[in-house]
Amino acid sequence: MNRKYLMLVALLVTLFQLSASAQDQEDESSRGFDKSKLFFGGTFGLGFGSNQTLVNVSPQVGYRFNRTLAAGAGVNFIYSSYRYRWSVPEYKENYGVAGLNVFGRIYPIDYLFLQLQPEANYSWGKFKFYDDREDQKLPGKIVPSLLGGAGAAIPAGNGAFLIMVQYDLLQNERSPYGNRAFYNFGYNFGF
């Protein structure tokens, strides 16, 4: 079996064991839905340059079940464009991504967490050529991703600043995350 999948199974088993032990320690009086345990955040990013554009709006909502376990869901909207001015032929790539995600977080230590986030993203694109070639469209396709990572939630006001490093464990060729670890910085309201 592939080492990547063995690591994923080990991580899932660990997350399950930690959440089960946290549930055992939870008080009976704190059971039930508590809207004060909701938090809102996600990713908002803009990048502009003479040859490139990136827009990312990916809000999420989550629920903190107890000190060690949180989970939630969100939507992804990403647009990117890059113009290759010095290639022959000169061309421009445009990509769009829209999708859904769910995430689970384990806080083994206060303010530090491990996160696993499966996603299903619909991806499409187009290559525009600046010569007599006809533009090419990439067929729309659902692209799965599985983001694994770690981060810190630093309390601030009525929320927390988030610093995370994540990596797409599935490495699909059309993944919007590429083949390297990437960093997210953000803020969760209602931590």
Reported as a single tens digit per residue, the pLDDT across 89-106 is: 888 999 999 999 999 999
Percent of the chain whose predicted confidence (pLDDT) is above 70: 83
- Residue 76 tokens read as 């992804």
Side chain identity, residue 124: W
pLDDT of 32 reads 80
Distance CA 180, CA 1 (A): 23
Burial string for 142-171 (b: 16+ CB within 10 Å, else e) reads ebebbbbbbbebeeeeebbbbebebbbbbe
pLDDT of 10 reads 58
pLDDT of 29 reads 46
Give the torsion through C-alpha atoms of 166, 178, 135, 123, to 10 deg: -40
Read off the pLDDT band of 28 (50, 70, 90): very low
pLDDT of 103 reads 97
Sign of torsion, CA 94 163 3 103? negative
Summary mean pLDDT of the chain:
85
Answer whether CATH 2.60.40 is correct for domain 40-189: no
* pLDDT, mean of residues 167-191: 88
Strands of the chain (E only): list them.
38-48, 52-64, 69-84, 91-109, 112-129, 136-156, 159-168, 182-189
Residue 154 reports pLDDT greater than 90: yes
Residue 108 reports pLDDT greater than 60: yes
Residue 128 reports pLDDT greater than 60: yes
Read off the pLDDT band of 173 (50, 70, 90): confident
